[in-house]
Amino acid sequence: MGKRLNLYYIKYIYLFIIGAFALVLVDIYQLRVPRIIGKVVDGLSDNTLTQSILKDFLWDMIIIIIIMAIGRFLWRAAIMGVAHLIEWDLKRKMYDKVVDLPLEYYVRNQSGNILSHFTSDSRVIRQWFGGGTLMIVDATFLGIYTFYRMIRLNLTLALLSIIPLFVIALISGIVGHYMNLKFLENQKAYDELSSYSEETFRGLFVIKAFVREALELKRFARINKNNHDKNLTFNKYSVMLNVLTEVLVWSIGAIIIGYGGYLAYRYKVDSVGDFTPGDLTVFFSYFVTMTWPMFAVSRLIDMRAQAKASAKRINALFDEDLKVYDLPNAKDIDILGDSIKIKNLSFAYPDDPSKYVLKDVSLEIGRGELVGFIGKTGSGKSSIFDLLLRFYNLDHNMIYLDGNDIMDIKIRNVRHSIGYVDQENFLFSDSIINNVSFSEENEIDIKKVEEATKYANVYDSVLRFDNSFDTILGERGVTISGGQKERLSISRALYHDPKILILDDSLSAVDAKTEKEIIHMVKEQRKDRITLLSSNRISSIKNASKIVVLNNGMIEAIGTHEELLKSSKTYSEINSLQSLDGGDFDAE
């Protein structure tokens, strides 16, 4: 399964040893039961069984039962307990990895695919460390110890008994390889089903609005059928192996009864040999015990195929290059928000390095400025913000915060100094107060929450909810309006009180009057802080300290509203179009 997962055996070696010791103890005492039964059978056959001897046998059985009960509790607590502990630790490490991965990873991988690592794959790994370890230890010791006992009774019958093991071992390599491939295909189909289901639930309003229920049901049926077929194909190999094992085992069992019965008959009737009816009882009990290791081998092939496939997927996640990380000499400094300087910035996203979305951008922003960004869709507004947040790497000497190269500052320091409100206005399925105070690391300051919602012009709306600030929002904030989502998202950023505030087209769902009030209050609250505001509406940015007009990834012009109406063709066109639509966007 790879060195990374195998290290868990070393990390929790003491628990595995305790579990293995308890398991071996149970096996040793478990094999005493057939011997007691055999003595009872021979005693009944020879009329030598007395009440005193039977009483001793019963006391032996009671002691065996008590020891087995204690041993089974210990091995279950140790082995199964450590398996759950490993699953917990693995999920924690995967989560740490996932939140550190760059945005481009989420472009390449759907959320359903990522979630399946935390559900299906981690469950398979837990089963391997739990049930798999149990079967390896139990099957190995119980199989060897039982075979030793069988040899002492009759060598010929003992050799007959292990024939299924050799056959299973012979086919395990072939079947196991195919099962591994089929389980990988099965997991990919599960990923597709999981991703599609999650996307459907998130877009249910759109599906209903466009009356797409029937068509989406057909699509779901197709994806579900593919998942079913892949799962069925894998299970066919598993069932085939199990059936083959059972046929082999019980065919040999029938031979043992036939040949062993013949030996016992000769001893009883003809007084030939030393294989008594009691020995036959004991031997067949041993054989029944021996079937567990045989079935365990086939089950292990099944489990190992699944575990190898899941381990491969999990290791691929851990092996993902972080790409965006602190450089060795990154400085742990506080960003005061004195200035932002962008110098000859050119940038292309990693998935398409030949296509530059920003070209030779240069810009300086000082403390207390509210800077507006405008441009046609795809002009590069959000890309500048992505780079300021260090979501991507860039060359040195392109962006400076307070005179420090952004690439030489620790990522945590950069992001901690910035409040960000994105276009989607994501809210968590939690209370309003917890959403607004999301950045709080200590006790929530309710006065600060109220103040932030007042600045974002949503305070009165919150008070009208039945539970006020304790109102629980639906998933992604679906229980409130788009405008309320935007204003709560702005409240969350204002509560953080960042040195730099980025509002990335985050006022599109509010009316013009509310928009004007929010911008006015944000300016009042942030007189000595930097605020960056992008919008497709001139009304949002016309009163900014200066406005940056972007066109095809380049800065076309920088100036005030009045200046840009004269100097920027793009800005003038946008203003004219929005004026024709009925907006009051022209110069006053």
- Is pLDDT larger for residue 199 or for residue 5? 5
What is the C-alpha to C-alpha distance for residues 192 and 97, in angstroms, rounded to an integer? 22
Greatest mean pLDDT range, 99-103, 488-492, 514-518: 488-492
How far the first Cα of the chain sits from its last, in Å, is 70
Determine the pLDDT at residue 34.
77
DSSP 119-178: IIIHHHHHHIIIIIHHHHHHHHHHHHHHHHHHHHH-HHHHHHHTHHHHHHHHHHHHHHHH
Q: Work out the number of other CB atoms within 10 angstroms of the CB of residue 72.
A: 15
Q: Could you tell me the two tokens for 439? A: 């950045």
Task: Summarize pLDDT for 255-276 with one digit per residue, the tens.
Answer: 888 888 888 888 777 777 778 8
Predicted confidence at residue 556, as pLDDT, reads 92
**Confidence category of residue 92, pLDDT binned at 50, 70, 90:** very high
Cβ distance 513 to 539 under 8 Å? no
**How far is Cα 266 from Cα 151, in angstroms, rounded to an integer?**
20
Q: Which residue has the tokens 């693995």?
A: 90
pLDDT of residue 1: 61
CB–CB of 500/529 below 8 Å?
yes
Model pLDDT, residue 586: 39
For residue 403, list its beta bridge partners: none
pLDDT tops 80 at residue 577: yes
Task: For residue range 538-563, list pLDDT tens digits in order.
Answer: 888 888 889 999 998 999 999 999 99
Q: How many angstroms separate the CA atoms of 41 and 475, rounded? A: 68
Residue labelled with tokens 């946008």: 574
Encode pLDDT of 464-509 as tens digits: 888 898 888 876 666 778 888 888 998 999 999 899 999 988 877 7
pLDDT band at 587 (very low <50, low <70, confident <90, very high): very low
Q: Which of 180-189, 381-390, 399-408, 424-433 bottoms out in mean pLDDT, i.e. has the lowest? A: 180-189
C-beta of residue 492 within 8 angstroms of C-beta of residue 439: yes
Fold for domain 81-318? Answer: ABC transporter transmembrane region fold (1.20.1560)
Q: Which of 61, 149, 137 is nearest to 292 (CA)?
A: 137
- For the chain, the domains span 81-318
Q: Which residue has the higher pLDDT, 126 or 113?
A: 126
Give the pLDDT confidence of 199-228 residue by residue, as tens digits: 776 666 667 666 777 888 888 888 888 888
Nearest residue to 372 (alpha-carbon basis) of 569, 530, 579: 530
- Which is higher by pLDDT, 238 or 486? 486
Cβ within 8 Å of residue 331, ≥6 positions away: 404, 408, 409, 410, 413
Largest pairwise CA distance in the chain? 123
